[in-house]
Amino acid sequence: MTGYVIRRLAILPFTLFVVSFFTFAIARFGPGDPITVTAGQIRDREVLARIRAERGLDGTIAEQYIRWVGRAVQGDLGESYIQRGYSVRELIVPKMMVSAQLNILAIFFVFAIGVPMGLIAAWFNGKWLDPFIISALLFFSAIPVLVVIPPLQWLLAVQFKILPVGGWDGLIDIVWIAGVIAIPVPDPHLYLPLLVMTIPGFAGVARLVRITALQVASEDYVRTARAKGLKESTVALRHVLPNSLLPLITVIGLSLADILSGAYFTETLLGIPGIGSFTFESVRSRDYDVILATTLIVAFFFIVMNLITDLAYARIDPRVRLGARIDS
């Protein structure tokens, strides 16, 4: 176990190097020169060369990369090419916060609703309700977000005028009753993105919970529990339920790994100032340092969360032996 952790940690810098270099090279290899964008009207060779040097865009790719890493490890992620005078960090951090809030809420609801759905489906296995729940959830997960958002906006915002078309205004609104009592309510801008971000997620969670619950229900210890004369509800709650939730750890870990990356389509279509919509603006305007920083932060978080998930799983389920190798 310790050896495995050390090995995984030892690979970490290497993985990060490959990820960052790959992104760096691709970003530099792409069309559109940020220098000419920065220079604007000026076409003077000397000025261009000076901007190039200032931005650290002179020399070979390897030199540029080393210089960039040198600054990045000190927390200096560079300056935005497009939004002049802003450091990448001050641009990215608030947007990541918005995305993170939205993502955490979405993940919470995906599991809070998806897990019971899966358990209900498993409970009604063999009856019509089981395939019905699963197919209905699968249907919702198959419709692309791109297709579903405009009709929802039209229906809820234009036709019935119960929700705003898009935008972002924090998590909580305060409603004043008679100007005296303050009641915190969820901000109305939240409903539409949450709806679109959670519903497609139910199917995956519910299916996983259902299949594990069915597997667990056919285990010997469940039969033993029944043979002891325990009530069916006790068997379900005490023996089947806890064991069916075990594989969820991996799934929850993996979805937590994505917290910092935005919901690209939802944010873009609904005009939410999160990291997803910002990434797209940056890719479109070739704001290299923003793209690089975003990619790296997301990748770093993903790798670390992956590691934590693996370790947590091994800790909880003693049957999992990490790094066990069969010699061929």
Partner 1 sequence: MTTTVTPASPAAATLPRQRGPVAQFWYRLRRKKLAMISLVVIAVIYGGGITAPVVAPYTYNEQNLENALQPMSSEHWFGTDRLGRDMFSRTLYSARTTLVVSVAVLVSGSLIIGNGLGLLAGYRGGWVDNAVMRVGEVLSALPGLPMLILVNAALGPRVLEFVQWAQQGTPLAGVARDFASYMTVFMALSLFFWVGTARLIRSQVLQLRERDFVTAARALGGSTSHILWKHLLPNIAFLVVLQISGTLGGVAGSEIALTWFGVGVQPPTPSFGAMIYEGSGARNFQTHPHLLLVPGLTVSALLFAFVLLGDAINDVIRDR
Q: What are the residues facing 182 on neighbouring strands?
A: 176
Closest CA to 78 of 281, 22, 86, 30: 86
Site string for partner 1, 101-140 (x = CB under 8 A): ---------------------------------xx--xx-
Size of the site for partner 1 (CB under 8 A): 52
| Window 19-38: residues binding partner 1 (CB under 8 A) | 19, 22-23, 26-27, 29-31
151 binds partner 1 (CB under 8 A): yes
CB closer to partner 1 out of 222 and 303: 303
CB closer to partner 1 out of 30 and 184: 30
Quickly list DSSP for 222-260: HHHHHHTT--HHHIIIIIIHHHHTTTHHHHHHHHHHTTT
Closest CA to 114 of 229, 24, 29, 213: 213
Looking at residue 6, the DSSP 8-state letter turns out to be: H
CB closer to partner 1 out of 15 and 224: 15
Binding segment toward partner 1, per CB under 8 A, in 37-45, 49-57, 113-121, 154-162: 154-162
CB closer to partner 1 out of 138 and 171: 138
147 binds partner 1 (CB under 8 A): yes
- Burial class of residue 147, CB neighbours in 10 A (0-12, 13-18, 19+): exposed
Q: How many CA atoms lie within 13 A of 198 on its CB side?
A: 19
79 in Cβ contact with 86 (< 8 Å): yes
249 binds partner 1 (CB under 8 A): no
Residue 150 CB, nearest approach to partner 1 (Å): 4
Binding segment toward partner 1, per CB under 8 A, in 148-156, 177-185, 232-240, 314-322: 148-156
Give phi and psi for 129, each to the nearest 5. Answer: -65, -35
Residue 328 CB, nearest approach to partner 1 (Å): 5
91 binds partner 1 (CB under 8 A): no
Q: Which residue carries 């299916």 as its tokens?
A: 207
Closest CA to 237 of 267, 252, 217: 217
Residue 268 CB, nearest approach to partner 1 (Å): 8
Tally of CB atoms within 10 A around 86: 13
- What span, in angstroms and rounded, lies between the C-alpha atoms of 15 and 142? 33
Residue 146 CB, nearest approach to partner 1 (Å): 5
Residues that bind partner 1 (CB under 8 A): 11, 14-15, 18-19, 22-23, 26-27, 29-31, 134-135, 138-139, 141-144, 146-147, 149-151, 153-154, 157-159, 165, 214, 261, 264-265, 269, 279-280, 283-284, 291, 294-295, 298-299, 302-303, 306, 325-328
